[in-house]
Amino acid sequence: MSGPALSRRGFLGAAGFTAGVLLTGCATAPSPDVTVAYWNFFGGGDGERMVGLVDRFRADNPRIGVSATTLEWGSPYYTKLAMACAGGRAPDLATLHTSRLVTFGRDLLEPWDLAELEARGVRLDDFPPAVTERLAVDGELVGLPLDTHPMVLYYNTDVCDRAGLLDASGELRPLHGPDTLLDAGRRAAEVTGATGIAFAATGTNEPWMLFWSLYNQAGGRMDLPDGGPARVDRDAMVTAMGYLQAFCDGTIASPTLDSDAAVATFASAQSGFLVTGPWEYTSAETAGIPFSMTRFPAVFGDRAIVRADSHCFVVPRQDSVDPTVRAAAYDLAVSMLDDSVSWAEGGHVPALAAVAESPEYLAMQPQSRYRDVVDDVEFDPVAYYSGSGSTMMNRAAQTLQAVAGGGLTPERGADDLTAWLDTQLRLESPL
């Protein structure tokens, strides 16, 4: 399963080879000398922006070809990538969610060579510490972060203005505390005549994102050791699930909307708020409604901890490594980081400090308004079945949907989810 690591000497040799090729290319029409196989899972607006990043790299590096493959996000992507790594036929570069990294990183990924990254102008302290901590496996960096994408709060400025929820400058008043957000939802519902907050209570991502944010704000911690049992804070679970149930009372938020319906409800101004990830920025913009975005508030405690994930680039383990191709894969990854201000147009917070602090990104409104959330993000608990698009997210959603709809009490919901976690921990990892 393990493949040969690329040595620094190999990199230097590859760099020299590449330089020679480039000099030769001055006298002839450029054509790709190496091709980097790159896998990703981006569709919709993110997919279009990713194509743009790759195309600009191709234009700037005509001697490096890129064979980009887009696969279905979720289990199909991660299963195919894991099997390709295990079989030694993995692509040269791939995109991963950081929340799925630990399991891959133990056996299936190569660590990034920090010296080679620095030679390309990228250093570890160029990224948010909260993100890079999750990108290290056994003390080595195995993921190169592209962004952070937290759960955020969208708000319709017209609805919120009529509901008296904006300050003199037109910004949303602070919604800190368990009652303030619920009250804002009721006031928005009075304006819309429908619900106040669009929320995908029957989705898979959103129930988990809201629960995990509230659970951590309530002081909950979760540890999932091999063999179990799950170490959870039952009181914090009950608190978070109790709030979810109060949130989905049919007036503040509906307990029956799925992800598409929640976005459509906000886009048609039938709600004053939308709680989801920043990736729906394009949907709201396309709808032409007056809206802005901000951090999800601190419902419990003083710190607005929020569930987040991060897209990162990884170097899958291969049976045979071509140093020239590996060097080109580094070039491609760093190029996409340097160019990620265009990626931020879709709502993601850039990971590279030079981009996150650039005038172009800071002028990007409302996308840059919640950029400081990177200091308060909480990733999913570490387990082979956790993370974005995972079995745990899907199974937890079943419990949370039942709680939101009143079919389970918060206490029974907490016990149901804990029992499932205990069962999972007794199973042997398939990877």
Distance CA 82, CA 317 (A): 10
At 263, list the tokens.
Answer: 């976005």
240 and 98 assigned to the same domain: no
Q: 332 in a domain, yes or no?
A: yes
Distance CA 317, CA 158 (A): 51
Contact 378, 308 (CB under 8 A): yes
**Structural domain total, the chain:** 2
pLDDT on residue 430: 67
Query: Model confidence over 162-198: pLDDT tens digits?
Result: 999 999 999 999 999 999 999 999 999 999 999 999 9
Going residue by residue through the chain, which has 431 residues, state the pLDDT in tens, using 9 for 90 and above.
333 333 333 333 343 334 333 334 444 556 789 999 999 999 988 999 999 999 999 999 999 999 999 999 888 898 899 899 888 889 999 999 999 987 787 788 999 999 999 999 999 999 999 889 899 988 899 999 999 999 999 999 999 999 999 999 999 999 999 999 999 999 999 999 999 999 999 999 999 999 999 999 999 999 999 899 999 999 999 999 999 999 999 999 999 999 999 999 999 999 999 999 999 999 999 999 999 999 999 999 999 999 999 999 999 999 899 999 999 999 999 999 999 999 999 999 999 999 999 999 999 999 999 999 999 999 999 998 999 989 999 999 999 999 999 999 999 999 999 999 999 999 977 65
169 and 247 assigned to the same domain: yes
74 and 137 assigned to the same domain: yes
Q: How many of the other CB atoms lie within 10 Å of CB of 319?
A: 12
| Nearest CA among 182, 164, 101 for reference residue 383 | 101
212 and 88 assigned to the same domain: no
For the chain, give the number of residues: 431
244 and 383 assigned to the same domain: yes
**What's 322's domain CATH number?**
3.40.190.10
Backbone angles phi, psi at 305, to 5 degrees: -65, 140
Distance CA 20, CA 247 (A): 63
Q: Tell me the pairing of strands 311-316 and 144-145.
A: antiparallel
Distance CA 200, CA 256 (A): 8
Residue ranges making up the domain that contains 270: 150-308+379-426
pLDDT on residue 24: 40
201 and 173 assigned to the same domain: yes
Q: 24 in a domain, yes or no?
A: no
Q: Reduce the secondary structure of the chain to three states and give it as a string.
A: CCCCCCCHHHHHHHHHHHHHHHHHHCCCCCCCCEEEEEEECCCHHHHHHHHHHHHHHHHHCCCEEEEEEECCCCHHHHHHHHHHHHCCCCCCEEEEEHHHHHHHHHHCEECCCHHHHHHCCCCHHHCCHHHHHHHEECCEECCEECEEEECEEEEEHHHHHHCCCECCCCCECCCCCHHHHHHHHHHHHHHHCCCCEECCCCCCHHHHHHHHHHHHHCCCCCECCCCCCCECCHHHHHHHHHHHHHHCCCCCCCCCCCHHHHHHHHHCCCCCEEEECHHHHHHHHHHCCCEEEEECCCCCCCCCCEEEECEEEEEECCCCCCHHHHHHHHHHHHHHHHCCCCHHHHCCEECCHHHHCCHHHHCCCCCCCCHHHHHCEECCCCCCCCCCCCHHHHHHHHHHHHHHCCCCCHHHHHHHHHHHHHHHHCCCCCC
At 216, list the tokens.
Answer: 């951590």
298 and 314 assigned to the same domain: no
275 and 407 assigned to the same domain: yes
161 and 236 assigned to the same domain: yes
Query: Model confidence over 102-154: pLDDT tens digits?
Result: 778 778 899 999 999 999 999 999 999 988 989 998 889 999 999 999 999 99
| Nearest CA among 314, 325, 431, 320 for reference residue 5 | 320
231 and 281 assigned to the same domain: yes
Q: 203 in a domain, yes or no?
A: yes
Q: 94 in a domain, yes or no?
A: yes
Q: 196 in a domain, yes or no?
A: yes
286 and 418 assigned to the same domain: yes
Backbone angles phi, psi at 104, to 5 degrees: -65, -40
Q: 7 in a domain, yes or no?
A: no
pLDDT on residue 28: 52
pLDDT on residue 14: 40
291 and 332 assigned to the same domain: no
Query: Model confidence over 83-103: pLDDT tens digits?
Result: 998 888 899 999 999 999 877
Backbone angles phi, psi at 283, to 5 degrees: -65, -45
Distance CA 97, CA 6 (A): 24
Q: Dmax over Cα atoms in the chain, in whole Å? A: 74
Q: 2 in a domain, yes or no?
A: no
Q: 260 in a domain, yes or no?
A: yes
